[in-house]
Structures are given as structure tokens and as C-alpha cells.
Chain A
């Protein structure tokens, strides 16, 4: 297993366009998280899945953002009608639910630039 994979690594889009990012977690991990990170800040939690169920969304996640994880495998994050303020690094992480607290493994991220 090569770890958490995100695609694309970079995306430039015009304001108002829709974009979709993909995350492939580590195969045996049942939890998947999405974060957003802007320059000089730490990652900001957006949402998380346990298997295919989206169990929590941050209050900061606007209606333009939607995430799915069909069949509990890969996940997609879609941003509709992008705005310049959406420019950020979007990070995906996965973890395994075990008897003890376990670490999250992060992907390399997708850097979005809205022009």
C-alpha cells in the first residue's frame, strides 16, 4: 500500500466553476477525513466519514461543498461555484478504528487556486 493518494495535486480554476477532488485512503482504513489548509494556518477540519456514512461536517463547510464516499472506499470532495476564498490546500486523511486511539495518515493534498 502506498499510503493516502490524492488527485489532482494541483488545480487552477476560474471563479464560478465547479471542481472535484479525489482521495484514495489506505485500503483497510474505515475513517476518512477532509481538511482545508491556507497559508500560515494549520489544517482546518471539514468533514469525516466512517465507512460510507458522513458522520460530521464542520459548521464552516458551506453549502457549496459536498463530499461523498461511495462503498466506503475512495472519497470525492466537490466545490460548486468556486470563489477566490476557496483557494487552499485540501488534505485528505484516513485512519483505522481500533481499540486504542490511532493516528491519521495524510495525503499530499490538492492545491486549489481560484482565479
Chain B
């Protein structure tokens, strides 16, 4: 399974755009890239998923270059409630049978 590398922590001021980049050099052809958000004492919550190029939903955008060896989660205009741990996963199509990494702890500052 492809291993992912992402920053351990990030700080951002409220209202700013936050970009979190994840490296996955060994991604396989049938792998998807999925991002989850987790608050303390809660289960992870799906944010966005993509295979290539750009995906956008109501909460985030996901940018994936052509070689798919990295991806960037973009959170527009973060608020204090976006303070959480964000996990990047590379998972075989249709399956979530992967172990999450340590994730990126995002701290939003007022």
C-alpha cells in the first residue's frame, strides 16, 4: 500500500485559505486519494476524494497533479471550528482498508 507523508502540524489565522500537501510517491493505478477530518474523541469525517486533476465540493478542493505523486487539500477561509487533524489516505478503489498516518494537526488562530 502506498505510504503518505504530510506535515505534522500547521497554524493558520481565521479567514485564511489553508493548503495541506500530502506526498504519496508509490501510488498505484487503482488508488484513490481521500482526505478525512477528525475532532478529538470523534470518528474521522470524510472531506473529499479524488483520482486526478481537481475536485471541489462545498467544504474543500483537492488538487492532484498529473503524476499523482502528491495532492493538496485546500480549505477556503478557515474558521476556528476547522481546528482538527486532517488525514490523507491512498486507498485502493472502493476500499477503506488502510491504516491512517499521523495526520496534520491544523490549529486555527483567531
Contacts and interface: CB of A to CB of B under 8 A. Distances in A.
Given A97-B94, A101-B32, A103-B34, A43 B45 contact: no
Contacts of A91: 43-44
B94 A102 contact: yes
A43 B37 CA distance: 12
Contacts, number: 65
Nearest to B48: A103
Contact of A43 (B44, B51, B94): B44
A33 B95 CA distance: 10
Q: A33, A43, A44, A58: which has the most chain B beta carbons within 10 Å? A: A43
A33 B43 contact: no
A102 B44 CA distance: 15
A40 B102 contact: yes
Interface string B24-48: 0000000010100000011111100
A79 interface: no
A90 B70 CA distance: 30
A83 B103 CA distance: 27
B97 A56 contact: yes
A106 B96 CA distance: 11
Nearest to A45: B99
28 contacts: A31-B95, A35-B100, A41-B102, A42-B85, A42-B87, A42-B100, A42-B101, A42-B103, A43-B99, A43-B100, A44-B100, A45-B99, A56-B97, A91-B44, A97-B94, A100-B94, A101-B34, A101-B49, A101-B91, A101-B94, A102-B94, A104-B46, A104-B96, A107-B43, A108-B42, A108-B43, A109-B43, A111-B41
Interface of B: 32, 34, 41-46, 49, 51, 85, 87, 91, 93-103
